[in-house]
Structure 1
Amino acid sequence: MFGKTKVSLIAAVAAVLMMVLAPASQAEERVGDPFTLDVCPVSGAKLDSKGDPVVMILDGREVKFCCAGCKPQFEADPAGFIAKIDKLVIAQQKDFYPVQTCVVGGGKLGSMGDPIEMVVNNRHVRLCCAGCKDKLTADPVAFIAKLDKAVIAAQTKTYNLTQCPISGETLNANALNIVVGNRLVKLCCAGCEDKVKDDVSKIFAMLNTGKVTAEGSDEK
């Protein structure tokens, strides 16, 4: 009898621990795009100016800092710094926005006043009106997927890299298309995808120059 009670108690404790720990582990997973800026939102310094950047996940959104000292400052005013990040993200991504229609409502941007500029998990999204905001936040995955298709369609013809920015391998018709920060990135294989998201700023630099560099790829 005692043995059964002991086993039941252990099982109950294990179940409680799983319930407590599961949300914490899930909260550490990045949702959506990686951090696309190359500067620290707190100090304004380049992310790599003090060694490897410090990474934080806030409600699924990735944020990077130049050093551990900046993280507590961010945590003291997350809303203020997120607003600052959003402004920088919009400025960075707006020129690459692929469509003149709302990805949620389908209306023409500007037809109902100034478009609503939003950032969802580090991705700039433009909406026709405030009424579309709740729909976007309720199902961001579906609408970001729709935006991804528009980015690929708009940027494929003008894509300027002939090599995978990670491996240096020549791209062919079977290249993998991914979208990061509203920019198309073509890869030789799925194995390179996570490496793109580890250091987006280097990939963007290659897209800007049209040249794959050894510094930003596995090619030596």
Structure 2
Amino acid sequence: MNATTFPLLAHPTLVVLLALASLPTTLIAQQAVPHAGNHQHAQHQTSTTGPHKGPLKAVGNLQAETLVTPAGLKVYLYDLGGQPVSVQQSRGVARLSVEGNAKRYRYDLFPSEDNALKADVDLSRVVGRQLTVDVQLVGAAPDTLAYQDVTVLSPAQSELDAVAITRQKVCVVSGKPLGSMGNPVAVQVAGQRLFVCCAGCVDALKANPEKFTQARPKVEVVKFTESDAALITKQAVCPVMDEPLGGMGQPIKLLVGGKPLFLCCKGCIKKVQSEPEKYLAMVYRDGEKGSERVRGNVVPAGTDAVRPDVFKVSDADKPFIAAQKKCPVMDEPLDAMGGPYKVNADGKAIYICCPGCAKKIAAEPQKYLAVLKSQGVDAPAIR
């Protein structure tokens, strides 16, 4: 082999590269492909997974772990016992080809700080494509190490997260748009990788994953049909603004979980997209047929008292409990102390974590309604 056929010889000062130049071409070829006889080469070995989650392949008396990512290539070496082998005096070449493209791309491999031989190269354009990587290494063993890996380049986790965040749109705990509170936080629960708007929502998700991992109703903007006039008359008000439908022009029609829901204007669409369960429950009573409506931000008065003026909640309260989330007195989750419970604050329903908070709300109802208002919560009226 000469400098023309193997460009690594552009580094003549490196003894290991001179050693590579002196090797017979047939030796490298023999290690790259199987042939007759009892000698075992790399291609006869069964690949497993290495410490860095890359394929691990026996090459001569060593093992090579090859990582191909959108940021480039890395090769880690180990002895047959799995212990890392230093590559600080080693060099290499990787030749990469993409399925469907006859061209081969050559990259020099040099030592990195984490004891790998690496080539920094942008491979993001071939994500999802099958790649064939031919690797030749010198300096780590008496002979040149040569092997081939075939892999499909997967997106980096950051790229997968960006796609997932775009699809999820909102925090599964708070309902706020992802990104509105800084970088979304990834949480692995119930076999899923979900995102929350901030670190404050992580514990709530981990404590009750079943509550937050249920599939959210799909929200679609659709065109009107001839039958919609009767449905608009029946619904009467926008569940977001509590304004008469038609008061701001032609109502907007949505399908939420396959059920029609009408809004007063386009500005209300994002609210429904962020909390579809809440607005669906406001228009359709739980457990009843879709034609039954809940008018606007209204809940029935409590009937099952746990003490004077403190009531157990019902299914009709669920969307408002989901919207309020925390007790305005204790600033604790509503279910933290056996709640939620419902109290009447000047004709509006406030949900509390325990009956003990009722006295404070009774003494200063407007104070706690203002607390909720500052948090973006509009307490429902009690009918």
> Quick check: which one's strand share is greater?
2
Whether TM-score is above 0.5 comes out as: no
* Higher helix fraction (1 or 2): 1
Higher relative contact order (CA 8 A, sep 6+): 1
Q: Could you state the TM-score of these two structures normalised by the residue count of structure 1?
A: 0.31
Q: Normalised by the size of structure 2, how large is the TM-score?
A: 0.19
